[in-house]
Structure 1
């Protein structure tokens, strides 16, 4: 074990952040370039782009949970999380290389439809990212003690990862998305293959008395732990069935029913009383609150291109890509600086949950302002800086909050279940919100939906109890 790991020095936190940084960089490339390349290079309409983005969350539903369960139990290549980081990193790098060459891949395989190949590449890319994202986050909990050290681990994760994200969007804004894609492939290969070997993992995870008496992992146990997400699951299955079968509907009763089910289980979860004897209640509250954050965030990521095409019609395809890259560069710059240098100190004073709630509230306000004033580039960039405050919290603080509400010996499993509060809302955005946005002329709706979702999330976080240090 390196001395920096024994002493939990800042250099170790930076090293510990690099595997997650590799996956974060791959995700930044995907966010910046996927919608752009599918729209401008391959001629897919906005609804088809939404379907391609739906492939990723589907991969995440199974990928993170299965990898989490397995990585809690196995040990090979001198690691529990290391093997999955290596495998996922190699696959992610390969799929990034395939992204600008979908037409070549399609012709080589003798497949005439680009959409099918695009979905396959996006599915493999996101599955690869998900294979690695779970262990890159779980390993931080494995090697840091609970409390401020754990918070520091996740805030430094976002600061380092976010700094590389800034690099990604700077490259895209300056030299274009093709340079970004190829640079990303090389960086993902390097960071995911070499850095895990400098982190020593504990061969035995801590097991408390409460862990010993917990029930075994089963489908029922998993289903009960994700109760606030049942409405998302029901609707996603319904919408996927319609897409696969090709059935068209002219009503919204299924959406209304799913919304009622979702809010019912979210509300009863949020008003349930947390207790030391049942940590699952606190975990479910985090799922409920976090899921609405991702409805808003994913709506922006996928459909900002539709908003800009509507509000800035004079932009060329290249200029459109650069505006998107610059917007996300600013978002990432703010989210890189804040976690370790601002959010962590504030969290020590007022608590992580309260800090997170304030940040989410600022993001809801920012989304509302973009929907009204975001048709001017300078104003859009300024408001993206405001959105970066909420984004910096979303991708750092919930991991620290959640990790102290679950059994430490099952961190991989719960990281996987926690990821469902991300991928199920992402799927909802692609299958439902995308179709709705495509039928509405005024694309300001993109950021109006995001604003409402973040406002609901902020209200939900007020019902999450701060972890006691006693």
Structure 2
């Protein structure tokens, strides 16, 4: 080993609840992110967006990730302050995201200054930028604080907390309507009160949980961190003090791209198919089930047609509101199934291997999306959700079954790529490489945003259920692509220990 890479000191194992604390803030981040995922299309449609343009509004989400995460990752790699290395970025992002959540559903109040649809799009961009500022350091924080033998546990706990947040974030508008009694219908150009208050509550939960992680997680000082990771502190300090010109830093960044670990490059194909499918689900599930299950014709998503009729009939507004609420329930369901699967994910990957676990999980998600097609309309069915009872078409109730597969895939997507990747990353470049890895999340979503709306309009004639089926096909291709991934030659010690035991 070279002089610049001294022998690392054994990083101490963390108590279980400290591993939990490191990721607790992600619960609130995902609470807010799930509110956005389940309701942004609903909000933008209410504010005047048509079906095939929805994906173009959503393009700001991956664009913000593409721009923000590598910058934040690189900056947090170089940041050492008395407040920590990753914590300042996590807290700043949470504050900005909370502000965006408070303003977005109130776009109608600025109509005298700017068109509500434009204001809503700007707030969506702000929220996504802020979520990315917060998320990237959270990923790196687990790698920083959790030793290698607990890494799969750390990312599995992060996946569990993400899905707990997603369950309650997705369900919140439904709860506010059916338990609290807030109105879930909206006039043209306005947002339903239940959605507005859900975003206020989400902003509060986001800030509270992030503060818990920031206050409960004491990051290692530079000398201690470098000792654990086998890095030369003096050499790193010299590199930090040598402020390179912007052109040289850009060249260095592109060199990192070229020299990215082989495992990261191979995972990129799997990520492409997975996130292409997820983006379609988040954008088009609401119109898909509104049309396919509640029987609302596609013309009621066309702003030109809505303008011609002046007023939305009560039964159409009620159907769209009920379908929008039910999207929150099925999104909460897939998050619940993902949370349950997260509990056994680490153990299952030890038994089957990480690649096989990952591949099977994605395949189940693909079949889940495709099976949406088989749940259409049906007689009104009374459903007891413990907190309340509602009447929905039987097809809507049946959609809970595909969510099992979607949830399993989601849990694997949140944990397995990072568990596979983390041991192949250099310790002094973890943050920036985690940011670069976000390219494999952002790029497929950008491609999806550019082509999904066009496919929906020209191939599927605005019948949104078929774009969900396309998402299922893509997820199956992702499952097949896992076979091309080659893991690091050094397996995790935890897997060794379990096998020996």
TM-score tier by shorter-chain length is 0.7 to 0.9
Question: What's the counterpart of residue 390 of structure 1?
Answer: 409
Partner in structure 2 of residue 203 of structure 1? 221
Quick check: 1:226–1:284 contact (8 Å CA) kept in 2? no
Q: CA 1:140/1:45 → structure 2, altered by over 3 Å: closer, same or farther?
A: same
Match of 2:17 in 1: 11
> TM-score by structure 2 length?
0.77
SS of residue in 1 equivalent to 2:84: coil
The structural deviation recorded for 1:146 is 1.4
Structure 1 contact 367–450 (Cα < 8 Å) conserved: yes
Distance 1:47 1:219 in 2: 36
The Cα shift of 1:330 comes to: 0.4
Q: 2:441 aligns with which of 402, 409, 422?
A: 422
- Given candidates 278, 283, 291, the residue that maps to 2:272 is 291
Change over 3 Å in CA distance of 1:79–1:372 after alignment to 2: same
Q: How does 1:325-404 map to 2 (within 5 A)?
A: 325-339=328-342, 341-373=343-375, 376-404=395-423
Give the drift of 1:185.
Answer: 0.8
TM-score for the superposition, normalised by structure 1: 0.81
Q: Please give the secondary structure, in 1, of the residue aligned with 2:452.
A: helix
The 2-side partners of 1:50 and 1:350 are apart by 37
Within the candidate set 187, 193, 207, 1:189 is matched to 207
Structure 1 residue 359: Cα displacement: 0.4
Matched residue pairs, number? 409
Match in the other structure for 1:38: 44
Matches within 5 A, 1:246-325: 280-311=261-292, 312-314=294-296, 316-325=319-328
CA distance, structure 1, for counterparts of residue 464 and residue 34 of structure 2 = 23
Give the conservation status (yes or no) of the 8 Å contact 2:28–2:205: yes
Deviation at 1:6, TM superposition (A): 6.0
Give, in whole Å, the separation in 2 of the partners of 1:97 and 1:29: 12
- Quote the residue 1:411 is aligned against: 430
For residues 378-408 of structure 1, the C-alpha deviation after alignment (integer angstroms, 9 at most, x for no partner) is: 2211111221111111112211112112112
Cα deviation 1:201-232 (Å, max 9, x = unaligned)? 1223445579989x9985455446657xxxxx
Contact 2:289 2:465 in 1 (8 A): no
Q: Which runs of 5+ in 1 are unaligned?
A: 228-277
Q: CA deviation at 1:131?
A: 0.4
Of 27, 35, 39 in structure 2, the residue corresponding to residue 29 of structure 1 is 35
Which one of 74, 80, 83 corresponds to residue 79 of structure 2? 74
Tell me, what secondary structure is at the counterpart of 1:381?
coil
Structure 1 residues 201 and 127 mapped into 2: Cα distance closer, same or farther (>3 Å)? same
Structure 2: state its 5+ residue gaps. Answer: 1-10, 177-193, 297-317, 378-394, 493-501
Q: Which residue of 2 aligns with 1:84?
A: 89
Aligned equivalents of 2:257, 2:162: Cα separation in 1: 28
Partners in 2 of 1:460 and 1:137 — Cα distance? 24
Contact 1:93–1:185 at 8 Å: present in 2 too?
A: yes
Q: Which moves more between the two structures, 430-439 or 296-305? A: 430-439
User: Does residue 103 of the first structure (1) align with residue 124 of the second (2)?
Assistant: no
Q: Contact 2:375 / 2:399 at 8 angstroms: preserved in 1?
A: yes
Q: Do the aligned partners of residues 305 and 328 (structure 1) sit closer, same or farther apart at CA in structure 2, a change above 3 Å counting?
A: same
- Whether the aligned pair in 1 keeps the contact of 2:70 and 2:432 (CA below 8 Å) is yes
C-alpha displacement of 1:464: 1.0
Any residues of structure 2 matched to 1:141-160 within 5 Å, and which?
A: 141-147=143-149, 149-160=150-161
On the 8 A contact 1:162/1:333 being kept in 2, the answer is: yes
Shift of 1:142: 0.1
**Higher Rg:** 2
* 2:105 and 2:195 in contact (8 A); partners too: no
Tell me how far apart the structure 1 counterparts of residues 272 and 255 of structure 2 sit (CA, whole Å).
16
Root mean square deviation of aligned Cα: 2.5
Per mean C-alpha deviation after superposition, the further-off stretch among 198-207 and 75-84 is 198-207
Deviation at 1:297, TM superposition (A): 0.9
Q: 1:425 to 1:80 in 2, by over 3 A?
A: same
Q: Whole-Å Cα distance in 2 between the matches of residues 371 and 460 of structure 1? A: 25
1:369: Cα distance to partner? 1.4
